[in-house]
């Protein structure tokens, strides 16, 4: 007999992307930033290391919330930091969802939402997107209305497209919250700053942000929520007291303060991304116009797994993804936008592999 709760016993668990521990890889599989974080991050972390590691960090992350609030032009009580934005997603699930309540998300999208719903014992509905990655309006409206949480990654992963925020307003659940997961928000052509929250929808919308991508801090683990203080107050009760450590807090504060560095990196990545999309199309791929630091592509011959394997043999790691749709399987390659040199390497390899 298993000692685990039935939900845990039965679930497969989330599978993160491969993290090879030896060097020599062109690593384009988990949407990290190819460029280093601001030099100010190192200084700030060094300062903490030389200081008092024996003391607990600020459980309220006062300084971080002040800096983030300034950036998003809200009050600090609209901000809740976490150990990566994944932790914020966990906090949301634990804060709002009772077992058997309905949680939904577009599909294909970030598969962690479904895993978190399983852990919580919630029901999960995949709102299957149209082949052009747009919403099936009638299905979406019906499911969203009944959901306790509707998670929407915007821009979406793995496709990289972004839906206009205003179009998502009709999907706010009647008795629940709309979570706009903006892990890739800083890579958009028109970066945004939570306009919807300020436009009066605050008490029904939570925006989540990550420092893993645009700020090059995946190894530090830091993300945060922006939401109406009424929601943040409740969510704070659910988090671990010291969910952000002294080093990650110092790194996050320094990173957010150096907007110039972040913008230079994201601009560079956006330029490389547009080149990657163009070149993939020349090679016969269908590539989605991306608003993120990755590109989703498929080939009419359907040989995505072969290409993934052959790239891997050349020590180039991209993500092969496979989704079960109502009417068949959708698979393809998701390629993180690395440096210009890395992207040339993957393109050169694809030219040889075919
Ligand atoms: C859509 C989406 N949301 C959230 C995350 C998690 O980001 P973090 O590193 O901040 O936990 C990812 C990571 O790949 C993601 O793709």
pLDDT tens digits for range 296-312: 999 999 999 999 999 99
Q: Is 153 in the pocket of ligand 1 (CB under 6 A)?
A: yes
Overall average pLDDT of the 339-350 stretch: 98
pLDDT attached to residue 218: 97
d(CA 214, CA 223): 11
Q: In this prediction, what percent of the chain has a pLDDT beyond 90?
A: 89
Q: How far is the CA of 157 from the centre of ligand 1 (A)?
A: 9
Q: Is 154 in the pocket of ligand 1 (CB under 6 A)?
A: no
- Indicate whether 191 pLDDT > 90: no
Q: Structural domain boundaries of the chain? A: 6-36+260-353, 39-258
pLDDT bin (cut points 50, 70, 90) of residue 15 is: confident
Which atom of ligand 1 is closest in space to residue 157's alpha carbon? 1
Q: How far is the CA of 16 from the centre of ligand 1 (A)?
A: 11
d(CA 227, CA 156): 20
pLDDT bin (cut points 50, 70, 90) of residue 203 is: confident
Overall average pLDDT of the 51-66 stretch: 95
3-state secondary structure 11-38: CCCCCCCCCCCCCCCEEECCCCCCCCCC
pLDDT attached to residue 104: 98
pTM above 0.85, yes or no: yes
- Indicate whether 227 pLDDT > 90: yes
Given ligand 1 and candidates 106, 152, 210, which is best to mutate, with the most ligand atoms within 8 Å of its CB? 210
pLDDT attached to residue 291: 97
Question: Using an 8 Å Cβ cutoff, are 25 and 345 in contact?
Answer: no
pLDDT attached to residue 195: 76
pLDDT bin (cut points 50, 70, 90) of residue 167 is: confident
Question: Using an 8 Å Cβ cutoff, are 53 and 194 in contact?
Answer: no
Q: How far is the CA of 244 from the centre of ligand 1 (A)?
A: 17
Pairing state of beta strands 177-181 and 205-210? parallel
> Whose C-alpha lies nearest to ligand 1, atom 2?
183
d(CA 194, CA 180): 10
pLDDT attached to residue 305: 97
- Indicate whether 53 pLDDT > 80: yes
Fold of the domain spanning 39-258: 3.40.640
Whether 6-36+260-353 and 39-258 share one fold: the answer is: no
Give the largest CA-CA distance in the chain.
58
Element (H, E) at 69: helix 62-72
User: So what CATH class is 6-36+260-353?
Assistant: alpha beta
Q: Convert the pLDDT of each residue in 238-251 to its tens digit.
A: 999 999 999 999 99
Q: Is 197 helix (H, G, I), strand (E, B) or coil?
A: helix
pLDDT attached to residue 194: 76
Q: Is 248 in the pocket of ligand 1 (CB under 6 A)?
A: no
Q: Is 219 helix (H, G, I), strand (E, B) or coil?
A: coil
Helices 112-120 and 85-96 cross at an angle (nearest 10°) of: 40
Overall average pLDDT of the 89-108 stretch: 98
Q: Convert the pLDDT of each residue in 261-286 to its tens digit.
A: 999 999 999 999 999 999 999 999 99
Q: Convert the pLDDT of each residue in 26-45 to its tens digit.
A: 999 999 999 999 999 999 99
pLDDT bin (cut points 50, 70, 90) of residue 52 is: confident
Cα–Cα distances in Å, from 219 out to 84, 141, 254? Answer: 10, 38, 15
DSSP category for residue 2: -
Q: How far is the CA of 209 from the centre of ligand 1 (A)?
A: 8
Cα–Cα distances in Å, from 22 out to 27, 64, 296, 305, 348? Answer: 11, 34, 26, 23, 23
- Indicate whether 153 pLDDT > 80: yes
Question: Which neighbouring-strand residues pair with 286?
Answer: 298
d(CA 148, CA 153): 16
Tell me the chain's radius of gyration from C-alpha atoms: 20
């Amino acid at each position: 007999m298993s000692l685990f709760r039935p939900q845990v016993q039965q679930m497969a668990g989330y599978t993160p992307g491969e993290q090879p521990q030896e060097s020599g890889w062109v690593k384009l599989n988990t949407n990290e930033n190819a460029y280093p974080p601001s030099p100010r991050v190192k200084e700030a972390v060094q300062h903490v290391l030389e200081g008092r590691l024996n003391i607990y960090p600020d459980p309220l992350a006062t300084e971080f919330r002040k800096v983030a609030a300034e950036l998003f032009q809200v009050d600090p009580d609209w901000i809740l930091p976490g150990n990566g934005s994944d932790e914020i997603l966990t906090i949301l699930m634990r804060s709002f969802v009772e077992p058997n309540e309905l949680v939904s998300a577009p599909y294909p999208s970030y598969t962690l939402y479904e895993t978190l719903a399983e852990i919580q014992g919630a029901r999960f509905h995949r709102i299957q997107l149209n082949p052009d990655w747009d919403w099936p309006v009638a299905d979406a409206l019906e499911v969203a209305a009944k959901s306790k949480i509707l998670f929407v990654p915007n821009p979406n992963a793995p496709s990289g497209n972004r839906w206009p925020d205003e179009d998502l307003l009709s999907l706010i659940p009647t008795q629940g919250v709309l979570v706009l997961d903006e892990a890739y928000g800083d890579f958009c052509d028109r970066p945004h700053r939570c306009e919807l929250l300020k436009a009066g929808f605050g008490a029904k919308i939570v925006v989540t942000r990550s420092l893993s991508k645009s700020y090059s801090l995946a190894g530090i683990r830091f993300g945060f929520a922006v939401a109406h203080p009424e929601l943040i107050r409740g969510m704070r009760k659910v988090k671990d007291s010291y969910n952000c450590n002294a080093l990650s807090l110092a790194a996050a504060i320094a990173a957010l303060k150096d907007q110039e560095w972040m913008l230079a990196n994201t601009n560079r990545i956006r330029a490389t991304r547009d080149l990657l999309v163009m070149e993939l199309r020349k090679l016969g791929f269908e590539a989605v116009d991306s608003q993120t630091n990755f590109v989703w592509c498929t080939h009419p011959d359907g040989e995505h797994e072969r290409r993934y394997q052959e790239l891997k043999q050349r020590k180039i790691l991209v993500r092969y993804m496979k989704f079960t749709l109502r009417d068949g399987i959708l698979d393809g390659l998701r390629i993180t936008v690395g440096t210009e040199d890395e992207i040339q390497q993957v393109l050169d390899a694809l030219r040889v592999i075919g």
